[in-house]
Amino acid sequence: MNVSDKFIRSLPKIDLHCHLDGSVRTQTMLDLALRQNYNLPADNVEELRKYVRVPPDCKSLSEFLERFNVFYPLLKTPYALERVTYELLRDCSYENTKYMEIRFAPVLQKTENFPVPEVIESVLKGLEKGTSEFDIKAGIILCLYRGSTPEEIKETAEWALRMKKYGVCGVDIAGDETSYGLSDFRETLDFCRKNEINMTIHAGEAGGPENIAEAVEMGALRIGHGVALAKDPNLREILIEKGIPLEICITSNIHTQVVDGYDCHPFKELHDKGVVITLNTDDRGVSGIDLTYEYNKAVELGLKVSDLADIILNGVEYSFQDEAKKNRMKEEFIKQIKGRMQFYEK
Ligand SMILES: [Zn+2]
């Protein structure tokens, strides 16, 4: 079925898995470099994209991660973080994303003179500005980073609790899951559960299904990626039974070599077997994609247009918003989606 880009763009959408640092506009990197007197390898958007965007024939995870190193030093100031958050909301609202959860690891942005609370505050300022100016709502997820110190992990979770009423809606565990398990996080995750801080955990992306099982055992309400679930039918049934959704990011998995190609991605098989899935971008800047692109890909790979409605509503249902907000959003979305679908069928 040929689904127009315009139709998908017009659907109200949700992005639950979006990294702030992977979603920076190339032009903004140039502006920030100018402000900070920082040398980038190129001085125009077209040239710089060769360094900060994944090439379509990306061969390895390290090639993907190298992209971040080029511009990362620019993202450690209040101005930069407020601006990239604001611009991300603007970009997403333009493709009709109505709600998103933006995640970042404060430990990666902090410096000696820019401590964690100020890092979070800068992002929240951008969030406030963006959500008041554009037709989009959003929450912030703080990433606890694999490989950081136990103190840093604990501190980030404590700030998630303190900043709850200002827009922080949960925590995530990000970083290299093949080198770092979750044992360092046990105490902090207990703290999160006790304080009702929502948890999502990157698991079963580069690692195996056992990492998903561990994340579920630790209290994850959602799993970031979780493509390895396709390898373990028993675990798949457990996730279905518990109603734990996967935050699927198709193109990112191709770029990081988690799956060999679009045709091998297991999202449709998992969806068909009853796993709750959502569709998300991960790193829209570095990957050079948007959510509309990901939806188009999903349809190209066999998802029915009617499935898209379910997936969008999964995004509402499993978002880290309170029940009243979810219910209102669901009602509004159903109306909008029905209208679009009718229009589409004509
Ligand atoms: Zn991610």
Q: How far is the C-alpha of 193 from the C-alpha of 195, rounded, in Å?
A: 5
Using one digit for the tens of pLDDT, what is the confidence trace for 140-157? Answer: 999 999 999 999 999 999
User: Active-site residue 317, yes or no?
Assistant: no
Q: Give the active site residue among 177, 205, 247, 294.
A: 205
Give the pLDDT band of residue 346 (cuts 50, 70, 90): low
Using one digit for the tens of pLDDT, what is the confidence trace for 4-35? Answer: 889 999 999 999 999 999 999 999 999 999 99
The protein residues having their C-beta less than 5 angstroms from ligand 1 (an ion) are: 282
* pTM over the 0.85 mark: yes
pLDDT at 2: 58
| Dist. CA 113 → ligand 1 center (Å) | 27
Using one digit for the tens of pLDDT, what is the confidence trace for 321-333? Answer: 999 999 999 999 9
| Dist. CA 280 → ligand 1 center (Å) | 9
Using one digit for the tens of pLDDT, what is the confidence trace for 158-206? Answer: 999 999 999 999 999 999 898 898 998 999 999 999 999 999 999 999 9
CATH number of 5-345: 3.20.20.140
| Dist. CA 117 → ligand 1 center (Å) | 22
Q: How far is the C-alpha of 52 from the C-alpha of 332, rounded, in Å?
A: 37
